[in-house]
Amino acid sequence: MDLEVSKVAVFAMYILFFALFPLNDACPRANPKSSSLNVLDFGAKADGETESSQAFSKAWDAACKTTNGIPSIMIPRGDFLVNQIILGTILAPASPSAWKVEYSPKWLTFENVNGLNIMGPGGINGQGKGWWDQSCRDHPGLALSLASCMDCSISRIHSTNSPQIHILILDSNRTKIDHVTITAPESSPNTDGIHIQSSHDITITGSTIGSGDDCVSVGDYNSDIHISDINCGPGHGISIGSLGKDGNVADVKNIFVRDVRLNGTTNGARIKTWQGGKGTVRDVIYERLKFTNVKNPIIIDQNYCDQAAPCKEQSTGVQISDVTFRDFYGTSATDMAISLICSRAVACTGIKLESINLTSAKTRRSVFSNCINAHGTIVGHVEPRECLKK
Ligand SMILES: *[C@@H]1O[C@H](CO)[C@@H](O)[C@H](O)[C@H]1NC(C)=O
Ligand SMILES: *[C@@H]1O[C@H](CO)[C@@H](O)[C@H](O)[C@H]1NC(C)=O
Ligand SMILES: *[C@@H]1O[C@H](CO)[C@@H](O)[C@H](O)[C@H]1NC(C)=O
């Protein structure tokens, strides 16, 4: 299995590999004195012109051969021209203490890189079990992050058992993820498949995602996000949110989700916002979704709250408008197949339900819809019967 990183030109590259490389037969002998390996020592030049691929590969090989301590590869700030590097399967440290979280909660990070392509086949294994068993809210752990990357791609890699989010796309534009496979147990907390934040013009396609949290989650400040041809399950569906926490001003628009097959997930198409937030979520289209035994196939929750007791009603909320759910069919694991719960302060408007046929996963049971403060229109046959207000 090879994981291949290639790029045409690097403008600024800063990669932190907190990786514990597999110290097995593939990595024999040798014992470099230091376990921190700087690519400059292997002949890389930060001048933006010198081909440094060989130097990167040598640093990688040296890290692989390290027998004392946890090797890390440092790529200092600067401009490195790197064409292709072929890496093996990458394993993360299995324990959170070996992962220097005080320095960065991220494991493999590519920051400020333009035109980076990360290609499989090959994989990264976050060995997240040690994290799932402890309270991870204090210990964020992300497997692969692209931050401030323009025109980048991640293709055909397999990411498994991340401590938390498997792939994070942050502050990036014009970036594509295709044909990735993501797997983590249904019971692993916060292991979103792909999380997108503050990014624009992002495409995710042809991927199979099963995890303990959202298959894809669209966070705040995103626009023009295209998600298509996804198999999701287990997991929490394709979610927008949660947005507007602690009075934040949300700004999410032009989100297109189509051709998604959900199997055994807790949610299908979901939008969740916190009370007390501000701003908007608008122009969202979910279409051609197929459900197999999904607990909440269609759900908008404007009163999202992660505590056991109900959160206090507040006078502001994130405005949700112009959201279409179209061409949905399949089975609901619960009786409530459509749930559109909007706030009294800021109702949902422009909701469109079109050609929907959801039935119960259990024999001889009916499914229902429940709407509160949700306004919009119905087109074609919608089952269960709609409950939208005009
Ligand atoms: C990224 O896209 C946003 C929205 O279109 C734009 O405002 C921003 O300038 C872009 N950033 C870069 C570096 O291209
Ligand atoms: C759903 O998942 C179950 C359990 O993994 C599997 O047996 C079944 O074939 C899947 N169904 C569909 C329609 O993919
Ligand atoms: C809805 O789906 C059920 C179960 O697959 C099917 O029996 C029924 O004919 C469908 N209704 C419409 C209007 O397509």
SS3 132: helix
| Chain segment 357-382, per-residue pLDDT in tens | 999 999 999 999 999 999 999 999 99
Q: Is the shortest distance between the CB of 292 and ligand 2 below 6 Å?
A: yes
Please check whether residues 38 and 184 belong to one and the same domain.
yes
Please check whether residues 195 and 250 belong to one and the same domain.
no
Please check whether residues 174 and 250 belong to one and the same domain.
no
Q: Is the shortest distance between the CB of 150 and ligand 1 below 6 Å?
A: yes
Query: What does the block give as tokens for 210?
Result: 């099963």
**CA 298 to CA 322: how far, in whole Å?**
15
The residue behind tokens 């994989």 is 123
Please check whether residues 186 and 302 belong to one and the same domain.
no
Which one of 199, 234, 266 terminates a domain?
A: 199
Q: Is residue 204 part of a domain?
A: no
**CA 233 to CA 51: how far, in whole Å?**
42
pLDDT band at 96 (very low <50, low <70, confident <90, very high): low
Please check whether residues 117 and 266 belong to one and the same domain.
no
Query: How many CB atoms are located within 10 Å of the residue 229 CB?
Result: 16
Please check whether residues 178 and 29 belong to one and the same domain.
yes
Least Cα distance to 196 among 283, 141, 255, 236 occurs for 255
Please check whether residues 373 and 312 belong to one and the same domain.
yes
Please check whether residues 355 and 274 belong to one and the same domain.
yes
Q: Atom 11, ligand 2: which residue's CA is nearest?
A: 263
Catalytic residue among 139, 179, 236, 381: 236
CA gyration radius, the chain: 22
| Chain segment 304-315, per-residue pLDDT in tens | 877 777 777 788
Contact 151, 129 (CB under 8 A): no
Q: In the annotation, is 236 catalytic?
A: yes
How high is the pLDDT of residue 266? 98
Q: What CATH number is associated with residue 331?
A: 2.160.20.10
Distances (CA, A) of 332 to 216, 293, 338: 20, 5, 9
Q: Is the shortest distance between the CB of 198 and ligand 3 below 6 Å?
A: no
Which one of 149, 175, 199 terminates a domain?
A: 199
Please check whether residues 182 and 227 belong to one and the same domain.
no
CA 270 to chain centre: 15
- Please tell me the distance between residue 214's alpha carbon and the centre of ligand 2 in angstroms: 18
pTM (2 d.p.):
0.86
Please check whether residues 234 and 363 belong to one and the same domain.
yes
Least Cα distance to 273 among 292, 249, 237 occurs for 249
Least Cα distance to 100 among 139, 46, 65 occurs for 139
Number of domains in the chain: 2
> What is the domain extent for residue 240?
214-390
Please state the rounded mean pLDDT for residues 43-63.
87
Which carries the bigger pLDDT value, residue 141 or residue 28? 141
Q: Is the shortest distance between the CB of 292 and ligand 3 below 6 Å?
A: no
Please state the rounded mean pLDDT for residues 83-107.
68
Q: Is residue 206 part of a domain?
A: no
How high is the pLDDT of residue 18? 28
Beta bridge partner(s), residue 348: 374
Taking 70 as the threshold, does the pLDDT of residue 337 lie above it?
yes
Ligand nearest to the CA of 233: 2
Please check whether residues 141 and 255 belong to one and the same domain.
no
Q: Is residue 207 part of a domain?
A: no
SS3 270: strand
